[in-house]
Amino acid sequence: MKKFWKVMNDIYEKTMFAVFVMALLVVIYAMYDTWFVFDRAGDDSFLRFKPDQVNADTIDESPISSDMVGWITIFDTNIDYPVMQGATNTDYLNLNPYGEYSLSGSIFLDSRNSSDFSDSYSIIYGHHMEYGAMFGALDEYLDDSYLRSHDRGELLVGRDGKTRYGLKIFYAMTADAKDEKVFSTDRSEELFRFLEEQGLSTDGRILCLSTCASADSTTRTVVFAYILEN
């Protein structure tokens, strides 16, 4: 009997040790995965290919995917990214600007919008990442004082960035991902009426920047900006 219990005790100890090792490996992997995602979200290697940073003669040699339709910069924030546009709105959810797999994805223009930003209402999406990476900085715009002090930006259109627009951020709010008033580009009239009810002008073109408010919610943080002729 003693031998039996000794064998059972050995099995128990080995089983618990194996469980402990597996749990430790899971924790290590989770930590690595978190670091990896953040590291990729913070990758700014593409900045050297920003249209106003490279010679026009070599712009076509940029490794950034040909799906790039522009570049968005919001001054005094971390938002300084190429804008991609896929055939659908899922194409660049998990692809970086080089067309490589990345959980942090890319900043991308709604597939229904004109790539030259000529529509009266355009939507740009980006993942909400920590420390203001990608569109993680948009949450700050729900604070009116932050909005007023960080309301300027720039939009370069095309791979060569020869067309340049100013951006003037004027309003921020939260909305459900299924709110067609905000997320249907062909129903901008309803959105414009809503903005006018808030006492805001809807003259000219409007750009919407959208990101998740949290990982487990359909709530989106949306920030609106006027596209200004320079």
According to DSSP, the residues that pair with 163 across neighbouring strands are 157
According to DSSP, the residues that pair with 101 across neighbouring strands are 95
Amino acid at 177: A
Of residues 212, 222, 225, 227, which has the active-site annotation? Answer: 212
For tokens 């951020």, the residue is: 169
Nearest to 107 by CA among 115, 97, 116: 97
CA distances from 26 to 19, 134, 187, 189 (A): 11, 27, 46, 50
Give the number of other Cβ atoms within 10 Å of residue 202's Cβ.
18
Measure the CA–CA gap between 6 and 147, rounded to whole angstroms: 69
212 is catalytic: yes
The answer to whether the CB of 110 falls within 8 A of the CB of 93 is: no
H or E element that contains 212: strand 205-212
Three-state secondary structure call for residue 158: coil
DSSP string, 65-85: -TTEEEEEEETTSS-EEEEE-
Residues catalogued as catalytic: 212
